[in-house]
Amino acid sequence: MSATMSRMAMIRLGALAASGVTLLGLTLAATAAPRRASGAWTPDERALLRSLSLSALEKLPVDPSNKYADDSAAMWLGASLFFDARLSGNGKVSCATCHAPEKGFQDGLPLGKGVGTAGRRTMPIAGTAYSPWQFWDGRADSHWAQALGPLESPAEHAGDRTQYAHVMRAHYKNAYEAVFGALPDLRGLPERAGPVPDSTRSHAWASITPVRQAEISRVYANIGKAIAAYERTISFTPARFDRFVDAELAGQPHTPENTFSDDERAGLRLFIGKANCSTCHNGPLLTDNHFHNTGVPQSTNGAANDSGRTTGVRAVMASEFNCAGKHSDAAPESCSELRFAVTEGSELIRAFKTPSLRNAVTRPPFMHAGQFGSINDVLAHYNRAPTAPAGKTELKRLRLSDSELRQLEAFLKTVVSPVSFPSRAVSTSTTPK
């Protein structure tokens, strides 16, 4: 491992070590080391299981780039903004259009649909505050920076930052100023202006003085910080898997709420062993929050030549809203993920972020552009490990039998649970209030 290991990587390894999981232990578990007795778990397997349970999830990390991240007033403002379709170019799209609470904060579509059609699938939100990178390609390094991207994307919200500043003054002035201080004077400014692809609005933006541009961009950044404060509260609740692991490791009797069938237990053994799933789907959120080329075929719906992390890392390094940018609340030394990010290398080609496997079976279609329609298709792909359309796949052929694939699917259905989020003043409607 390089000397520039990221802060989050070190935290993850430290957490594993603290729970008794060693690198050797992970290797032993992954190769299905002999068990002490039939049906029993070895010490290394027990340690690995403990690290996968939601009860092992650490306290939500502080976001140094957003000093309002855990401010309750900012959170409730963000909740309102999340469901407000006035934050769009056509007045019909809100964050909840694609991140629908009743669908686990995603939309169930191959490609996200806002004002237009996006080039990738909508990612779910629950638990993503634990990740140092957002989006499939990691082109944002914070929740608040992620929230801003869709707002000016022509395919998603298709609005602009001056429009949104006017919305804040017209509809959220008191709530905004209670958190962030006085809104700037917007008199004399065009209704629509921003550094967006639309030529009329980009020309209008260029006519605004740099000082006023900076004021508008500050409001825009604060909108993202409020939405992020809300999104940080969206989390997973314990699934039957967590109850099974906690009871199993504590030596407690199993009940209907925490028991596993023979197939589910066999699927779990495959998950942490022969199938190598826990190599990337590890930790309590069942994701390493990193980027991998797994040979996923090119999309027939979205961008066929999507290069994944290769372009994503360049975008985050250049973003005015990254951790080191002028709108961040972080000290430069707090931006270790950004400073030590790998920006070059063949391993970035078509590498996409590992999604959490929690509730995954409820979110078809799968992969970054909905390439696979069923979980069976996903498991068959990993079993075959085909050649990647570009770059090099990290997969190796698994040679699992049909019964083993069925057992893996059975296990994945045990990590399904409701998503938790604040309910006060939250609606699933995407129409203006």
Q: What confidence tier does 192 reach under pLDDT thresholds 50, 70, 90?
A: very high
Is 319 part of a structural domain of the chain?
no
Is 290 part of a structural domain of the chain?
no
pLDDT at position 303, please?
Answer: 61
Shared domain for 88 and 212, answered yes or no, is yes
Shared domain for 79 and 43, answered yes or no, is no
- Dist. CA 344–CA 329, nearest whole Å: 27
Query: What amino acid is encoded at 320 in this protein?
Result: E
Tens-place pLDDT, residues 359-408: 999 999 999 999 999 999 999 999 999 999 999 999 999 999 999 999 99
Tens-place pLDDT, residues 303-330: 668 999 999 999 999 999 999 999 999 9
pLDDT at position 33, please?
Answer: 40
Shared domain for 206 and 148, answered yes or no, is yes
Q: What domain range includes position 2?
A: 1-49
List Cβ neighbours of 250 (8 Å cut-off, separation of 6 or more).
none
Number of domains the chain is built from: 2
pLDDT at position 304, please?
Answer: 62
- Dist. CA 375–CA 367, nearest whole Å: 10
Is 261 part of a structural domain of the chain?
no
Is 241 part of a structural domain of the chain?
no
pLDDT at position 347, please?
Answer: 96
Shared domain for 115 and 209, answered yes or no, is yes
Shared domain for 156 and 211, answered yes or no, is yes
Question: What sign has the CA pseudo-torsion 403, 404, 409, 412?
Answer: positive
List Cβ neighbours of 221 (8 Å cut-off, separation of 6 or more).
144, 148, 321, 327
- Angle at which helix 161-171 crosses helix 173-180, to 10 degrees, equals 100
Lowest mean pLDDT among 29-38, 111-120, 272-281: 29-38
Taking residues 417-422, report their average pLDDT: 94
Is 159 part of a structural domain of the chain?
yes
pLDDT at position 424, please?
Answer: 56
